[in-house]
Amino acid sequence: MLLVTLLSSAAFLAPQSSLLYLAFINLLLLVHGLIKRGDIRGIIRYIVLQLGFTLLLYALIHGGKQMNQGAWAVARMLLALLPGWWLTVVIKPQLIGVVLAKVMPAQWAFVVAASINLLPFMTNELRDIYQLQLLRGARIAPRQLLNPLNWYELAYCVIFPLFVQLLKLAQQTATAARSRHFGSQPQVTYWREPRSPHDTDR
């Protein structure tokens, strides 16, 4: 987790001349994550969309003179996201909660671990909302989003429903935690998976 924090921070703080070395480290993490059957499609879609928005904004503001700076900014975002993606692929959320509870209150560790665990679900939810709004005729297709006038429709038809879904999911998670008396005992327990098939018989 410290490695992921350092790599994600370095993506924004490192000079541009050092990004090649950082990209090589992230490439190794990417390959390892794919070997572990991690799904990278959500990050790819987000980066492609972010690249389109960023380059369009740079073109509108600077007249196309600093497009390379916009591309570098998106590249830094990608390098910041990949370590976190790799962590969610190779480490189970409950183990992340166990580690975080050693350095922060158990309630905060639970929130962080639950949020990480819900990222794949929210990615699928975002895709479903986007596709449903496209079927309803919303002007949010990639070609239509080149027009800044359609960005409001993207926020209204996709971002706002996703935000409502996040609030609903957070409320359900809090209700489930309270029903299990989370936080009522000073010593927090965690569900641990058996280390081997023989442990399930014990």
SS3 of 45, please?
A: helix
Handedness of CA 160, 165, 166, 171 (dihedral sign): positive
Q: What is the pLDDT of residue 185?
A: 65
DSSP reduced 3-state for 189: coil
**Predicted pLDDT of residue 201:** 47
Residues in the chain, pLDDT under 50? 196, 199-202
Place of tokens 């350095």: 103
Q: In degrees rounded to 5, what are phi and psi of residue 24?
A: -65, -40
Question: Structure tokens of 53?
Answer: 């928005």
The predicted pLDDT at position 189 comes to 60
Q: Tokens standing for 44? A: 């790819």
pLDDT value of position 28: 94
pLDDT score recorded for residue 195 = 55
Residue ranges per structural domain of the chain? 1-91, 92-193
